Structure 1
């Protein structure tokens, strides 16, 4: 069973800035994000958590990119 994602006009007002940033950064709203939009509070907090990891100075940015790339390879992500 697959969950049909929400379209932008169905998403909560609190997710509008996140969809705008995702479109600016990636070019479109990614499908998993549309499914997560059913729970806007969790989605918003998860986005804040991801942003805090990306902006952290503890781990070098090159290492973060390599880890993300390797994780994407392991799950078969096309980009």
Structure 2
């Protein structure tokens, strides 16, 4: 069973700034985000958590990029 992603006009007002930033960074709103948008509170908090990890100074930026690249390779991401 698959969850149908929400259309952009169905996404909560709380997530509009996040969709705008994603469009600016990636060029479009990705489908996983549209599926997570069914639960805007959880999606917002998850985005804040992810941003705090990305902006953390504990791990070197090069290592973060290598980990993200390796994770994408393992799951077959097209990015």
TM-score of Structure 1 vs Structure 2, range by shorter chain: over 0.9
1:68 Cα offset (Å): 0.2
Q: Which residue of 1 aligns with 2:70?
A: 70
1:8 Cα offset (Å): 1.1
Superposed, which structure 2 residues align to 1:27-66 within 5 Å?
A: 27-66=27-66
Give the distance between the partners of 1:8 and 1:45, measured in 2 at CA. 19
> What's the TM-score, normalizing by structure 1?
0.98
Give 5+ residue unaligned stretches, structure 1. none
C-alpha RMSD of the superposition = 0.4
Q: Which residue of 2 aligns with 1:20?
A: 20
Give 5+ residue unaligned stretches, structure 2. none
Alignment size in residue pairs? 79
Report runs of 4+ in structure 1 exceeding 3 Å deviation. Answer: none
